[in-house]
Amino acid sequence: MSFSRYPGYKESSIEWLGEVPKHWEIIPLKRDLLFLTSGSRGWADHYSDDGALFIRIGNLTRDSVRLNLSDVQRVAVPEGAEGERTRVISGDILFSITAYLGSVAVVPEEIELAYVSQHLALVRLNGRRFLSKWVAYAALSDIGKAYFETQGYGGTKVQLSLDDVANLLVPTPSIAEQSAITAFLDRETAKIDALVQEQQQLIKLLKEKRQAVISNAVTKGLDPHVPMKASGVEWLGEVPEHWEVTSLKRFIKFLDGKRIPLSSEERSYRQGTFPYYGASGIIDYIDDFIFEEDLILVGEDGANLINRSTALAFIATGQYWVNNHAHILKPLDNELIFWSERLEAIDFTPFVSGSAQPKLTIDALANIQVAAPPDVRERRAIAERIAAIRATIEPLIAEARGAITLLQERRAALISAAVTGKIDVRRLVEADTPTPDVIAA
């Protein structure tokens, strides 16, 4: 099924917009502005654990017009005009102006007392020409993104001026038509978002299943009927009777002495194709390498030691460079898969020192007690089982990620087509019609 088109079109004279319905206008946002401002840098001095909401770039999503208030900063409101000038109210539109250009959100009706940071532009409309949500969808569309990309200036930190926001050209039907189209987009994007959430939950479950099966293999072995024994180490619990319980250094050679840190400035002059590894993986690519063999890297410092948002132990392959934030481990048996997963299954929290900056020292890592099969053939068999588990589950994860990509592309195409008049959705507003699979050109 495809969407219908409007009866007639005219040229917009705007390269990235093309034709629009005959009865639509192209109006700059500034024609309907009641107020346009941004916050000041002084707000950072007023951070507190309670007080008013302080809305930042992170509260704007990159593919939605909804404000995300799941993670908010709060501020004690300063006296004077600055507080009132940057206070947001229901219906205001917030634009990112220093990062993620094109991110936009509409302030909901139920918003509590809230203010904006200096990285956001606050737009308040007269309401004579535009609905807030219509402007937000237009900014989120391909035409909005194309405009902001051409206007952005700066080097490492691209940004927009308030004039750039004010000069956004908005395809404009009547208020009634804007209301109909935004109602349609609200409904259909919500359906797509629900499907995306289902796929994200599936990925989460698949990852949990993969990790649980792998962790059981590297901590208990492959034979569920093997006799068990007390390990003598509280956090290890029972282990297979024939396994050896000893410090990690019994099985591993440490190569930390070979790593070389480079500052970001040094790396900027040495850009290339060789991976540059840090505590959580590749952080840059440079013009040379230190290592030319597959090894295991384990993060030495940082919050990931505690929150484990990414893998802490991972395999580096080929030719690469490692800085001083990752330990470098060479298994004596060369069973990298077994040992990387055995390390990943360890809760390192009891061995981490420091609070402001968590750190896993080389001595702490080397002396961690582990249980492992004494026979390399059993370790190799476990590694083969791990490879088989990955071969089964990872294609399912990739398929779910692909589905998310397609859904997000469909969502973006639907928004762009609707707010530029490439499709006519007015008759579908009241109908409970599923989103068509094809968007007519």
CATH number at residue 306: 3.90.220.20
Q: Is there a domain that residue 437 lies in? A: no
Claim to verify: residue 51 and residue 156 sit in the same structural domain: yes
Strands 33-38 vs 120-125: parallel, antiparallel or unpaired: antiparallel
Angle formed at CA 242 by CA 240 and CA 243, multiple of 5 degrees = 70
Interatomic CA distance for residues 156 and 285, integer angstroms: 17
Strand, coil or helix: 212 = helix
Q: How many structural domains are present in the chain?
A: 2
Phi/psi of residue 226, nearest 5 degrees: -65, 140
372, 392, 427 - which closes a domain: 372
310, 340, 372 - which closes a domain: 372
172, 198, 213 - which closes a domain: 172
Instruction: Please state which of the ranges 97-111, 340-354, 426-440 shows the lowest mean pLDDT.
Output: 426-440
Claim to verify: residue 233 and residue 365 sit in the same structural domain: yes
Local confidence band at 423 (pLDDT 50, 70, 90 cut-offs): very high
From the CB of residue 318, how many other CB atoms can be counted at a distance below 10 Å?
11
> Could you read off the pLDDT of 50-64 as tens digits, one per residue?
888 888 888 888 788
Claim to verify: residue 247 and residue 359 sit in the same structural domain: yes
| 4, 101 Cβ separation under 8 angstroms | no
Claim to verify: residue 150 and residue 265 sit in the same structural domain: no
Claim to verify: residue 253 and residue 160 sit in the same structural domain: no
Claim to verify: residue 165 and residue 228 sit in the same structural domain: no
Q: Which two tokens stand for residue 245?
A: 């319980």
Q: Is there a domain that residue 100 lies in? A: yes
Claim to verify: residue 150 and residue 273 sit in the same structural domain: no
From the CB of residue 1, how many other CB atoms can be counted at a distance below 10 Å?
9
Q: Is there a domain that residue 32 lies in? A: yes
Interatomic CA distance for residues 362 and 142, integer angstroms: 50
Q: How far is CA 149 from CA 38, 64, 217, 267, 342, in A?
A: 20, 18, 50, 27, 46
Q: Is there a domain that residue 418 lies in? A: no
The per-residue DSSP string of 269-288 comes to: TSEEEEEEEETTEEEEEES-
Claim to verify: residue 154 and residue 295 sit in the same structural domain: no
Phi/psi of residue 8, nearest 5 degrees: -150, 150
Q: Rounded to a whole number, what is the distance in angstroms from the first to the last CA of the chain?
A: 13
Cα torsion for 416, 130, 64, 7, to the nearest 10°? -20
> Could you read off the pLDDT of 135-184 as tens digits, one per residue?
999 999 999 988 888 887 665 557 888 999 999 999 999 999 999 999 99
Claim to verify: residue 159 and residue 268 sit in the same structural domain: no
Residue 437 has pLDDT above 60, yes or no: no
What 8-state DSSP symbol labels residue 250?
G
Domain enclosing residue 295, as ranges: 222-372
Claim to verify: residue 130 and residue 267 sit in the same structural domain: no
